[in-house]
Structure 1
Amino acid sequence: MEKLINSLKKLGLSRYEAQAYIGLNEIITGQANEIAEISSIPRSRIYDILKGLEEKGFVEVERGRPLKYKAIHPTTIINDEKEKLIEELNNTENKLKEIYNKDLSEIQAPVWLIHSQDNIIKREVEIIKKSRRKITIRIGFLLEDEGRAMLKAFNEISRDVEIRIIANPICYINDKKIDIIDLFKKSRLNNLEIIAAELPMMKLLISDEKELFGTFAHFTGEKDSIIPETAVGVDNKYKDICQNFDKHFIKQFEQLKSMK
């Protein structure tokens, strides 16, 4: 009996409510005094307890004099509670996943991995939107729709943020060609400069010399076509590393620019 009471308490019932519901299941339908007696509940409390059970959907009330109470079938109760619990767990999971992926910047650890193409692009967009001074990017490849997502983010930040990109002219993802240079040049953003170069198949985005986000993926075939499901992002906040990579980027960018 004690285990059954504890189980019902997990469904939101008080101890007396659990006792009353168990007792009512023994007689199916009964008056308040009958339920109080079979449940060992003080008669002075039984009406409030039964009212609580009605509000929570565990009993039905047959109006009349005297009032009669009928237990809702346990299968109906359990199935309803299962659905509520599963829905609540699913909502909790989705909210926690959203917080985990959205608010990684609040985590104290300076380096972590991000998996899946969607999460990688989402994180890059978040980093871009937080930038206040400058963004430098080496683009060896782009994931599908990544370029458009970046451009949308570029358009949402201040034009005072300098954006400098060194990129391979083209790349392939699932054997589909992406014209990287053409894509960004068409944006005509006056705070964006892009220069073509031969780069390894990786991507490094540095924001304000404070955060570096690198993306790596397997590629295949003569065209080095990216396999998107293998993509992994590495988010780094070691200040010295970010500054060092940014310094080398600026040096390479100016050298390439002088050669044009």
Structure 2
Amino acid sequence: MLLDEKTLVTLQRLGLTYYGARIYETLVLLGPSDAARLSKESDVPRTRVYDILRRLETEGWITSERTRPITYTARYPREVLEERKAAFNAAVDETANDLSMLYDNQMEKENPRVWLLRGSVNVTVKLLDMIGRSKKNIMLMGALYFADEIEQLKTQLQYAKKRGVTVRLITQKSIRLKDGDLDILGHLSPVVSGVKVYGPPYSKSAIVDDREVLIIFSRLDDDVPDEDSVIAIWIPNTSVASNWASIFNAVWNV
């Protein structure tokens, strides 16, 4: 029987062995079958097929009826695959949390270090990465935004807000760019928890979870920020980030 290789690969990614994937897909195609027929149609050795069927039944991929010979039936694919996908996503989330905790603990131990980033693309990647790892709060201050960046930022802030992260924004209503005015509040106010219209027009800082801060600058050309000259300082240190957060809060409470 000709089996779909793409399906086999996906089934293996969800935890099945190669032979287990062949047996399950064959059973879906054939309907209820006994071990001998499954071995023949799936090209799985007869000496292996019983062990594989027992494992598939134990893991919830198939059911069996104690007839003579025993008849095996595949569980409904959408149901069983949704179960495996949910388990896989839960495992990914747990691993992400564990690794992030180790990462955070390591940053706590290190002496303050400063990284210099050049170019709007590199700076945006770092900003989105910080927001993607946020757990508690995000503070954004300043009005240095560009058209290519702000939609990506809006999407990441939406995800952060859905995770329960508090997002506060201090900025100007808009910024004048070489291609025209950019409506900052129009883009970002729907995805933040609070907004204050204030702050420097030609720089920007992001403080995430009081543990890291990104400070962004750009050269001006006739009072218009030059996107090609963007630079940023990234400081992954809780003491520095907390001090910067104090500045943010002082401005917020003015």
TM-score (norm 2): 0.53
Q: Give the letter aligned to residue 211 of structure 1.
A: E
Deviation at 1:248, TM superposition (A): 1.8
Aligned mates of 1:132, 1:176 — CA distance in 2: 35
Contact 1:175/1:225 (<8 A) preserved: no
Aligned mates of 1:237, 1:117 — CA distance in 2: 19
Cross-structure match for 2:39: none
**1:71-129 deviation digits (Å, cap 9, x = unpaired):** xxxxxxxxxxxxxxxxxxxxxxxxxxxxxxxxx99896721111111111111000001
Deviation at 1:208, TM superposition (A): 0.5
Cross-structure match for 2:166: 162
Instruction: Call closer, same or farther: CA 1:236–1:198 in 2, change over 3 Å.
Output: closer
**1:50-82 deviation digits (Å, cap 9, x = unpaired):** xxxxxxxxxxxxxxxxxxxxxxxxxxxxxxxxx
Aligned mates of 1:124, 1:218 — CA distance in 2: 19
Matches within 5 A, 1:196-211: 196-211=197-212
**What is the Cα-based RMSD across aligned positions, in Å?**
2.3
Cross-structure match for 2:61: none
Q: Percent identity?
A: 17
Deviation at 1:251, TM superposition (A): 2.4
Contact 1:174/1:228 (<8 A) preserved: no
Matches within 5 A, 1:47-196: 110-157=113-160, 158-185=162-189, 188-189=190-191, 192-196=193-197
Aligned mates of 2:239, 2:199 — CA distance in 1: 26
149-158 vs 127-136, greater mean Cα deviation: 149-158
Cross-structure match for 1:31: none
Cross-structure match for 1:237: 236
- Bigger CA radius of gyration: 1
Cross-structure match for 1:254: 253
Unmatched tracts of structure 2, length 5 or more: 1-102
Contact 1:111/1:235 (<8 A) preserved: yes
SS in 1 for 2:206: strand
Contact 1:141/1:172 (<8 A) preserved: no
Aligned mates of 2:237, 2:214 — CA distance in 1: 11
Deviation at 1:238, TM superposition (A): 2.9
- Across the two proteins, how many residue pairs are aligned to each other? 147
Contact 1:212/1:237 (<8 A) preserved: yes
Aligned mates of 2:118, 2:147 — CA distance in 1: 15
Deviation at 1:154, TM superposition (A): 1.1
174-183 vs 199-208, greater mean Cα deviation: 174-183
Contact 1:124/1:213 (<8 A) preserved: yes
123-132 vs 144-153, greater mean Cα deviation: 144-153
Unmatched tracts of structure 1, length 5 or more: 1-103, 256-260
Contact 1:112/1:234 (<8 A) preserved: yes
Q: Give the letter aligned to residue 114 of structure 2.
A: V
Instruction: Call closer, same or farther: CA 1:138–1:115 in 2, change over 3 Å.
Output: same
Deviation at 1:234, TM superposition (A): 0.9
Displaced runs of 4 or more, over 3 A: 104-109
Deviation at 1:178, TM superposition (A): 0.4
**1:177-213 deviation digits (Å, cap 9, x = unpaired):** 101112212xx33x52111114241100000010000
Contact 1:141/1:168 (<8 A) preserved: no
TM-score (norm 1): 0.52
